[in-house]
Structure 1
Amino acid sequence: MFGEKRIVDNRVFLLGLDYLYRDAMKGHEVGELLPCARRVAQALEIFPGDLPVEGYYTESPELTEYFCLVRALQNVPESSKPKVVSLPEFGRLLGVVSSSIFGRPIYEGNLLPKGQDPLSQALADSVPSWTMESLVTLSSMIAHEHDDCSLVGLAARSKDAVVLTATRESVVLYARTIFGSARKKLRYMWEVDKDLSEAAARFVQTFNRLFSEKLPAPKKRHAEDYWHACKKNKILGRCVRIGSDVTKKPVVHYHWAVYQEKVLTAHEFWHPEIWTTERYRLALEGNNGRPQL
């Protein structure tokens, strides 16, 4: 006999995928990619700078070090490439940061590329007229037109600003948990859009191949996995800077964040300082709804 139905729709699936990605990625960043970044930085004689630590990289000293090292390497001119091109550590780091799971790799005269996902493209195409509503719409169009299967590209297809904010915060630098079931068998209903699940399959396959991981395929048989992963995912307070207006003095930065009134809601704002998830969550404490910035 079946009891409660648990629906896995686009939002539940994508937030579940986001959680699984983050959980797996942290381990690879600390265990594999941090030593690579250290070796490349040593060869180039560069050191991590003092800068705001964004996303989940405040969660441990190792993640913070990795974030700061990669940020420093992203600012190294491409002319330094001959010094490290023969290092296997550089090859691995380059392979990860240029992966399609982060979007299309764009080189801007620097050693490491950055991923151009549909949200980045939407920002570039609509500067300086940025509004959340227009960017959500435009990024969705771009994701479909370019058949983008990056993590942010998948979120863009859903036209869900909350999911788009959460996933973009996850990749700001570029888990399989099953709960015990209740006595009555629960039904997990897979209601993810067909084109989204097909594009997501390519993201999952690329990620699993890149890191020898086993994220579950985005199919009906794994609906329960994605349901529980979504429920484990804590996205309230995630905040990510997605653009900057360099024509203003001082420079002002464009952010998206997630807060809650009655439901989770995406918040867009400009600020002369870079707001991180850690800072935004502190601002949420003691506030009902959107914080006063």
Structure 2
Amino acid sequence: MIKERIIGDREVILGLDYLYRNSMKMHERKTLLPCADTLVKKLSIPIEDVPIEGYYSETPELTYYFKLIKSLQNVNIVRRSEISDMKEYQKLLEVFGSPIYGESNFENSIFPHAVDPISTSLKKFSPAWWKAVSIINEAYENIKDSNNFSLTGIGILTKDPVVITALRESAVLFLSVERASPETPKYQYIWSVSSNIENLINMFIYEFNKFIPYKILYANKNNSEYFYNAYEENRLIGRCVCIGKDNSLNKYYHWAINKKDSSDELNFVEFWDDKIWTTEQYRLNIYRSE
């Protein structure tokens, strides 16, 4: 009986990934590791202690090579003249400057990081809006009519996040992590407090400030930002208070605040127990159950 095995885009690209990884591991262990070791010693730089990403944790040699390269990538480009004529440096540059990883960007380092379509796409969005579907669609639109044959570029044409993730992980040593700082938003504070609540709060503040050296500002629209910031800083999740006790059953009645489902939305709960629950105990119970 003959069974069909269909080789589509996903299969051929992930097959390429496997072949690339196996060949690259051998090249890195036998050829590139000695080159990197020579350069680190020539420059007299410390070896970085970094998380070992990708397949580089598979053998001690690959792990050592990963650390060597990470150390070299942190050397400022002003020291390039010290090694520019060395054959070991040229051998490594041949690999790290290859278009199979993307466009080379030295970024003041003696070794370039590749800029692939994912890196470019990430820059189009604030980190708060980083979602795989948006990032991949943006990257696809940028390269769909080009001849981008970088490892991740090929994967992006499939729009398959499994394929793209696999390829990105294979090339982790060559690609930089995109570091983006969201723009600081400007806020307009709108005072929407009911007049009765505002009056009662200010009566409370007036009495409270009589015996407290650090005065609370009065509640009014001029202090909108002050009160909103205080609201955001307030740690509410996990607060628990015993409200009463049923002596006939020797049970304690509690009110508490926790999170609704897996979100950060506040949720009120009431419960009975044969002991008093403190805020500390209740919070520990919440976090253990997550």
User: TM-score range with shorter-chain normalisation?
Assistant: 0.5 to 0.7
How is 1:165-176 mapped onto 2 (pairs within 5 angstroms)? 165-174=165-174
Task: Tell me which residue corresponds to 1:118.
Answer: 117
Task: Tell me which residue corresponds to 2:16.
Answer: 17
The reply to whether residue 134 of structure 1 matches residue 139 of structure 2 is: no
Q: Please list every run of 5 or more consecutive structure 1 residues that lacks an aligned counterpart in the other structure.
A: 175-239, 249-291
Provide the rounded CA distance (Å) in 2 between the counterparts of 1:241 and 1:70: 13
Provide the rounded CA distance (Å) in 2 between the counterparts of 1:54 and 1:65: 12
Task: Tell me which residue corresponds to 2:151.
Answer: 151
Conserved 8 A contact 1:80-1:111: yes
Match of 1:70, as an amino acid?
A: I
Provide the rounded CA distance (Å) in 2 between the counterparts of 1:123 and 1:147: 20
- Which structure's relative contact order is higher, taking Cα pairs within 8 Å and 6+ residues apart? 1
**Matched length:** 184
Conserved 8 A contact 1:143-1:154: no
Task: Report the TM-score when normalising by structure 1.
Answer: 0.59
Task: Tell me which residue corresponds to 2:188.
Answer: none
The reply to whether residue 164 of structure 1 matches residue 159 of structure 2 is: no
The percent identity for this pair of structures is 38
The alpha carbon displacement at 1:48 in A equals 1.6
CA RMSD of aligned residues (A): 2.2
Provide the rounded CA distance (Å) in 1 between the counterparts of 2:180 and 2:113: 19
Conserved 8 A contact 2:113-2:176: no
Provide the rounded CA distance (Å) in 1 between the counterparts of 2:74 and 2:157: 31
Match of 2:114, as an amino acid?
A: G
Conserved 8 A contact 1:30-1:66: yes
Provide the rounded CA distance (Å) in 2 between the counterparts of 1:160 and 1:242: 21
Provide the rounded CA distance (Å) in 1 between the counterparts of 2:88 and 2:126: 36
Q: Please list every run of 5 or more consecutive structure 2 residues that lacks an aligned counterpart in the other structure.
A: 184-288
Conserved 8 A contact 1:48-1:65: no
Match of 1:139, as an amino acid?
A: A
How is 1:246-261 mapped onto 2 (pairs within 5 angstroms)? 246=181
Name the larger-Rg structure: 2
Conserved 8 A contact 2:101-2:151: yes
3-state DSSP of counterpart to 2:124? helix
Conserved 8 A contact 2:77-2:109: yes
Task: Tell me which residue corresponds to 1:45.
Answer: 44
Task: Report the TM-score when normalising by structure 2.
Answer: 0.60
